[in-house]
Amino acid sequence: MKIGVFDSGIGGLSVARAIKKARPDIEVIFRHDMPEHFPYATKTPDEIFTFVVPVLQSLIDDGCVVIVVACNTVSTTLIGRLRQQFDIPLVAIEPMVKPAASMTKQKIIAVCATPTTLASPRYAELKELYAQGITVLEPDCEDWSRLIEQNAMTEARLRQEIEPALAAGADIVVLGCTHYHWVEEAIRQIAEGRAYVLQPEEAIINRLTQVLAQLA
């Protein structure tokens, strides 16, 4: 059985590897959209849609029965349109506002995500549904994906955004972009003893397992 994992850049590769480790019985095909269209954070939803459709179609043509859309920007802005476009299940990824809101003791969380994700209706809906009475801080992570792709991210740059959120009382840090998984350990070290870092790979694997069971 083949499943596809798609992201704008290398971020989703961490998701693909996590799936393969958890489910060695599955053939995982990873595709990204570099270098032509990366980063998506600077593009409009309509532009992104035209970029994504051919890549997802290529995964279907290669025999994938499920596709994990391992890009928060795409999932939060376009997953409905994409599900209308394609007949196979699409597993979406989105900022973990719900679990963060349930876990925080200080009632303050920090969501690290791209500007497009933060501006999306779906992200606004997540906050409305699950973060009532919670202060949601949104550090400026606009250049993080580019820096990570260029292997140019530094601890100082991470601290520049993470430290103010921690100082403001955030005790949960949500990684709302798969690119940020590549610097997860550095963020955990910065937040150690002050905040818990959340990322969705385990949740994605659980959801994918459910979808595959439904197809069996």
Topology given in CATH for the domain delimited by 97-198: Rossmann fold (3.40.50)
| pLDDT score for 40 | 76
The domains of the chain are located at: 2-93+201-215, 97-198
pLDDT at 34 over 90: no
Residue 141 bears catalytic tag: no
pLDDT at 38 over 80: no
pLDDT at 36 over 80: no
Catalytic one among 64, 112, 141, 177?
177
| pLDDT score for 205 | 94
pLDDT at 46 over 80: yes
Q: What is the pTM of this model?
A: 0.89
| pLDDT score for 164 | 97
Lowest mean pLDDT among 42-46, 51-55, 91-95, 101-105: 42-46
Angle at which helices 121-130 and 72-85 pack, to 10 degrees? 110
Catalytic one among 64, 71, 112, 141?
71
| pLDDT score for 64 | 96
Q: Which residue has the higher pLDDT, 39 or 189?
A: 189
| pLDDT score for 131 | 96
CATH class of residue range 2-93+201-215:
alpha beta
pLDDT at 184 over 80: yes
pLDDT, one tens digit per residue, over 104-117 is 999 999 999 999 89
| pLDDT score for 43 | 81
pLDDT, one tens digit per residue, over 199-210 is 999 999 999 999
| pLDDT score for 212 | 93
Same topology, domains 2-93+201-215 and 97-198? Answer is yes
pLDDT, one tens digit per residue, over 5-32 is 999 888 888 999 999 999 999 999 999 8
| pLDDT score for 170 | 98
Residue 64 bears catalytic tag: no
